[in-house]
Amino acid sequence: MKHFKELGLKTPLQNGLDDLGFDTMTPIQEEAFPAILSGRDVIGIAQTGTGKTLGYMLPLLHELKYSESLDPRYLILVPTRELVVQVVEQIEAYAKYINVRVIGVYGGTNINTQKKALGDGCDIVVATPGRLYDLIVAQSVKFKFCKKVVIDEVDVMLDLGFRFQLNNIFDHLPTKRQNIMFSATMTDDIEEFIRSFFSNPLKVSIAVSGTPLENIEQSSYPVPNFYTKANLLMHLLSDATVFSKVLVFVPNKKSADRLQEVMAPHYGKEIAVIHSNKTQNYRLRSIELFDSGTCRILIATDVMARGLDLSKVSHVINLDVPRFPENYMHRIGRTGRAEQKGKSILFFTEDEAQNKKDIETLMNQPIEVLPFPEDVEISKQKTPEESPVLREIHNPHKTMEEERGDSFHEKKDKNKKENLGGSYRREIAKKYKKPKTRGDKNANRRRKK
């Protein structure tokens, strides 16, 4: 592996990396550095947790020169508010000894504060597409001098429905610019996006998105339903020494709240939750508590945890099997980062068995199935989503009398009347033999003549 000192970085940037203890480069960082410095449009495809943020920021910071211009020169787009905060913190750490102004803008906070900050001037803007589009419409930020645009986790942005905002943001950017895109997957939507905005891009691909990280031990349990999954999860988490820092993935916000409610009596203060219905401060606080080790369990949805750099996660537990195998790769990539060992556990029901097979096909390896622990209670309680929907099949042999329940009653006579319209309309119809528009004075005058 190549060392950062071999790149010939400017001294302040190298000093910042030394303070962070960075010595050797990851493959994506090594490949991306010369590609981005070439000035061509670049597409970087790499597994999650391989240092993509430093991969694109290192050459950008190396090229960045001092300027007194108020307008930003670099734009970095990320899908979630948490990623904005994280990327801003990382850039400030890398550029500790460089005079660079970084501003993060995202929804859920006072837009006027962000307008004022942008008005004071900055070099780099890190933003979510929605809030940035609002600021562009309000003419609070201009990209006249913006020469570098980075789109991080573009697949998540498109999944979240940000295509409209992205299209409009790119319409306000200079024609001559370098586009840089980093993602863990390559989909048809991304290919279409590339064709729309990229010019002869240079592709840097380190690993296929379905390749599992070698330092993650994977296993699974067959579980009949949600509440049994909760029982099994609490059984595993009872060993706080082994399960020291656990990220639990759930399919949606309802499941996150439901799981917290079940676990709260046993693991109340040890649990943090993050999903899009939580306030921004609550979400940031949850991440802070988990990352610092104050809370050892973080319950999260896919989108909220995507791209977050959470250190030393001992286990990733999947309470469900993602419909798209690539999402499973993103989830387990939260552990086993920075060459550390990690473990991933998958809970799957009979209905989710096929999704599990799809993941195994993508990875080209099976996920070990462990026997269900005998001392874990199998719950008969089901969630509304798991409960069967009772649909009455039409029976032509049933009479109306048989179908009527105890609450049935005949309509009152006044409710059996046919609606013939307003009384005025009916009276006019009687007099003139045809309906006439009420209040049409001109028509009345013509009729009198």
Tens digit of each residue's pLDDT (9 = 90 or more) over 224-236: 999 999 999 999 9
Positions of E strands within 279-352: 297-300, 315-318, 342-348
pLDDT, the chain, mean: 85
pLDDT the model gives residue 400: 47
C-alpha 276/C-alpha 161 separation (Å) is 15
Residue bearing the bigger pLDDT, 116 or 45: 116
Q: Is the dihedral of CA 392, 393, 395, 396 positive or negative?
A: positive
Distances (CA, A) of 272 to 3, 240, 260, 275, 386: 37, 16, 8, 10, 25
Express each pLDDT in 179-218 by its tens digit. 999 887 777 888 888 888 999 999 988 755 444 567 889 9
C-alpha 373/C-alpha 251 separation (Å) is 24
Query: C-alpha 374: how far from its chain's center?
Result: 36
pLDDT the model gives residue 132: 95
In sequence order, what are the residues at sequence separation of 6 or more whose Cβ sits closer than 8 angstroms to the Cβ of residue 173? 75, 143, 146, 149
Residue bearing the bigger pLDDT, 223 or 396: 223
**359-380 mean pLDDT:** 92
Amino acid at 273: V
C-alpha 254/C-alpha 432 separation (Å) is 63
Domain range 216-369, CATH class:
alpha beta
Quickly tell me which residue has 């597994």 as its tokens.
47
Closest CA to 53 of 86, 11, 100: 86
Using 50, 70 and 90 to split pLDDT, how confident is the model at 357? Answer: very high
pLDDT the model gives residue 210: 47
Task: Tell whether the model's pLDDT for residue 430 goes beyond 90.
Answer: no
pLDDT the model gives residue 231: 96
Domain boundaries, the chain: 4-205, 216-369
- Give strand pairing partners of 202: 42
pLDDT above 70 as % of the chain: 84
Topology alike, domains 4-205 and 216-369: yes
pLDDT the model gives residue 233: 96
Distances (CA, A) of 187 to 53, 158, 197, 302, 396: 21, 10, 16, 17, 50
Task: Tell whether the model's pLDDT for residue 442 goes beyond 70.
Answer: no
Greatest mean pLDDT among 22-26, 59-63, 291-295 lies in 59-63
302: helix, coil or strand?
helix
Quickly tell me which residue has 């046993």 as its tokens.
266
Candidate from 246-250, 321-325, 396-400 with smallest mean pLDDT = 396-400
Candidate from 18-32, 163-177, 306-320, 345-359 with smallest mean pLDDT = 306-320
Using 50, 70 and 90 to split pLDDT, how confident is the model at 407? Answer: low
**33-41 mean pLDDT:** 94
pLDDT the model gives residue 186: 75
Write the DSSP string, 315-342.
Answer: EEEESS--SSHHHHHHHHTTSS-TT--E
Token pair, residue 400, equals 């109306």
C-alpha 88/C-alpha 81 separation (Å) is 11
Helix (H) or strand (E) holding 195: helix 188-197
The CATH number of the domain covering residues in 4-205: 3.40.50.300
Express each pLDDT in 377-402 by its tens digit. 999 998 988 887 655 556 555 544 44
